[in-house]
Amino acid sequence: MRIVADVVRGKNVEQALNTLHFMPQKAARPIERIIHTAVANLIDQHPEERVDETSLVVSEIRVDEAPFLKRFRPVSRGRAHPFHKRSSHLTIVVGMPENTEDES
């Protein structure tokens, strides 16, 4: 999931969604859904401000490790090999791009 997150970090939201839509990785679909949710939450939390959706940027995207499930897979001679079903916590922050230039 971190590989897909690195692709969209810092991109415009429209660009990020378009890129994620055509990526073959399995992790692209949940990230795409969460970016849609983050944009909707931003608009919902600031109803008095008019937010231009085309100028929004994925300012932060973080993938952290979550608890994993311990499972066993049967192998030859009646034995079992352990494996972990991993999951992750995904944090996405969407905001307006910050201008680094001084507007004096």
pLDDT at 97: 83
Q: Model confidence over 49-97: pLDDT tens digits?
A: 888 888 899 999 999 999 999 999 999 999 999 999 999 999 999 988 8
Q: Quickly name the fold that domain 2-95 has.
A: Ribosomal Protein L22; Chain A (3.90.470)
Q: Model confidence over 1-10: pLDDT tens digits?
A: 999 999 999 9
Q: What is the mean pLDDT of residues 25-32?
A: 95
Q: Which two tokens stand for residue 1?
A: 């999931």
- Name the phi and psi angles at 31, rounded to 5: -65, -40
